Amino acid sequence: MSYLLVKGGAPLCGEVRIHGAKNSVLPILAASVLAADVCAISNCPHLRDVDVAVRILRHLGCIVSFSDDTLTVDSRTMHRCDVPDALMREMRSSVIFLGAILARMGEVQMSCPGGCELGPRPIDLHIGALETLGAQFAERGGALHCTARQLRAGEVFLATPSVGATENSMIAACACDGETVISNAAREPEIVDLAHFLRAMGADVCGAGTSTVTVRGRCPLHGCTHRVISDRIVASTYLCAAGAAGGQVRLSAVDYRAVSTVAAALAEAGCRLESDGDAVQLTRRGELRAIRPVHTAPYPGFPTDAQAILMASLLKSRGTSVFVENIFENRYRHVDELARMGADIRTAGRVAVVCGVRRLQAAPVRCTDLRGGAALVIAALTAEGESRIECIEHIDRGYADIARDMRCLGGCVERVET
Ligand code: EPZ
């Protein structure tokens, strides 16, 4: 299996362009089957999770081609309504296909996504929302069978602002007669991007980005072209890397508002951040200092996906920082690996206490999950010596080429294919 070699100790200096957002392109690829037509999606990153979504689309009978950064989906030949178990296991967020296949085919079969490295990943909110819109579910031996003779508009209320459940509701509501109102909807930028895509297909979607999204369904839908927004978590990762290693980096194709909570934390720690147009620059010369407690929360709160990467940037800061992970139950699996480099982190349930240390030492470490793996790269950039990072297939799910990007920023990161 491939691994990364990271030589730490030097400040970063360089520039990189941020690629398209994984968590935007996945629901958009699912929604592309709503119309039996052709959709061209540009700024699409080459990621393992995108590969899985393409394999699902091809299994359903779609014709999918990838040219440079544009992915074209022709769903006119779609004829299946099942997602194979193997593909569900490869990517638990395949559940995002539920609403789209149901809307197009009137039925869906997929295995229950089960848990993942972040802990249990229930889909009760997805099921409840689609039942409100007229779907019936039957579960047999871990397989979910969903049918809907006719989807109907309804009042969907989400007990928690689930990103995926919001997306499934929006997509399915496009096939419902009447007006569907989704209350306590997630407000992430990826939800807004999905709404832009649905409107480009001819759907009538309002309120995306607020807690109440309204969809007037049964509009005639057609293919479209759409450019995916850039990935705010990838941008946050590289800002945290520069905050940790010191130096100066400039990221282009960044929406500053989408990284503002992470940028504010890095500014509090002593970094200087400047933005102009679609670029953001981070400079860190002096020592990093500990920051006020970080509580992860639904957008626009501090993103859970940035918890591990900000933690990694504070390992050598002066003082003690506290993290409270409120979204997922088991999102501190990177802590033990960081400790192998000499980090001083104590966890108790949802709380992690990071005490800054003077030095970190390179070590052989293993990625436990996508963002935990990115955190190991950040820590290794500030450790003395050369670290070997294994199990980087986790990182490949959400970063097109983290080694190349880090080299553009002046980091000594090499990918070794075995
Ligand atoms: C999306 O996952 C993202 N994935 C995650 O990014 C991100 O961490 C998460 O939103 C939160 O922002 C994609 O967009 C592909 P949720 P999702 O439904 O939709 C609970 C990454 O690193 N919940 O908002 O699965 C759930 O257990 C990934 O890029 C229910 O209880 O997240 C969690 O505790 C990781 N029942 C909380 O809600 C449900 O039916 C938030 O989950 C659904 C969710």
- Classify burial at 375, counting beta carbons within 10 Å of its beta carbon; exposed 0-12, middle 13-18, buried 19 or more: buried
Instruction: Please give the number of the atom of ligand 1 that sits closest to the Cα of 121.
Output: 27
The per-residue pLDDT for 265 is 98
Whole-angstrom distance between the N-terminal and C-terminal Cα of the chain?
6
CB of 122 sitting under 6 A from ligand 1: yes
Annotated catalytic residue within 62, 81, 116, 219: 116
Atom 14 of ligand 1 has which residue's CA nearest to it?
A: 23
Residues 400 and 268 in one domain: yes
Atom 28 of ligand 1 has which residue's CA nearest to it?
A: 305
Give the count of beta carbons closer than 10 Å to the beta carbon of residue 95: 24
Residues 59 and 189 in one domain: yes
| Residue that is last in its domain, among 223, 254, 287 | 223
Residue 367 to residues 68, 323, 328, 374, 377, Cα–Cα distance (Å): 29, 20, 18, 8, 9
* CA-based nearest residue to 311, from 281, 283, 341: 341
The per-residue pLDDT for 149 is 86
* CA-based nearest residue to 184, from 199, 169, 205, 203: 169
Q: What is the pLDDT of residues 125-155, one digit of tens each?
A: 999 999 999 999 998 878 899 999 889 999 9
**Which backbone phi and psi does 269 adopt, to 5 degrees?**
-80, -10
The per-residue pLDDT for 330 is 86
Residues 204 and 316 in one domain: no
Residues 114 and 258 in one domain: no
Residues 12 and 38 in one domain: no
Residues 248 and 199 in one domain: no
Q: Is the preceding omega at residue 300 within 30 degrees of 0, hence cis?
A: yes
Residues 393 and 342 in one domain: yes
Mean pLDDT of the chain: 96
* CA-based nearest residue to 3, from 389, 400, 404: 389
The per-residue pLDDT for 115 is 63
47: containing domain: 22-223
Instruction: Please give the number of the atom of ligand 1 that sits closest to the Cα of 95.
Output: 25
CB of 305 sitting under 6 A from ligand 1: yes
CB of 55 sitting under 6 A from ligand 1: no
Residues 286 and 250 in one domain: yes
Segments of the chain with pLDDT less than 70: 114-116
Q: What is the DSSP letter of 61?
A: T
CB of 115 sitting under 6 A from ligand 1: no
Residues 65 and 188 in one domain: yes
At 56 the three-state DSSP class reads: helix
Give the predicted TM-score (pTM) of the model. Answer: 0.97
| Residue that is last in its domain, among 175, 191, 223 | 223
Q: What is the pLDDT of residues 90-110, one digit of tens each?
A: 888 899 999 999 999 999 999
Q: What is the pLDDT of residues 272-289, one digit of tens each?
A: 999 999 999 999 988 999
**What separation in Å is there between the alpha carbon of 163 and the centre of ligand 1?**
6
**What separation in Å is there between the alpha carbon of 357 and the centre of ligand 1?**
32
Atom 19 of ligand 1 has which residue's CA nearest to it?
A: 164
Instruction: Please give the number of the atom of ligand 1 that sits closest to the Cα of 160.
Output: 38
Asked whether 400 and 25 are in contact (CB, 8 A), the reply is: no
Give the count of beta carbons closer than 10 Å to the beta carbon of residue 283: 15
Mutate to test the pocket of ligand 1, among 49, 194, 327, 395 (most ligand atoms within 8 A of CB): 327
Residues 215 and 237 in one domain: no
Mutate to test the pocket of ligand 1, among 157, 162, 262, 327 (most ligand atoms within 8 A of CB): 162
Instruction: Please give the number of the atom of ligand 1 that sits closest to the Cα of 370.
Output: 22
Query: What CATH number corresponds to the domain at position 395?
Result: 3.65.10.10
CB of 124 sitting under 6 A from ligand 1: yes
Domain tally, the chain: 2
The per-residue pLDDT for 381 is 98
| Residue that is last in its domain, among 191, 223, 255 | 223
Residues 236 and 215 in one domain: no
Instruction: Please give the number of the atom of ligand 1 that sits closest to the Cα of 329.
Output: 34
Residues 263 and 163 in one domain: no
| Residue 13 annotated as catalytic | no
Asked whether 309 and 371 are in contact (CB, 8 A), the reply is: yes
CB of 304 sitting under 6 A from ligand 1: yes
The per-residue pLDDT for 114 is 64
Give the count of beta carbons closer than 10 Å to the beta carbon of residue 106: 16
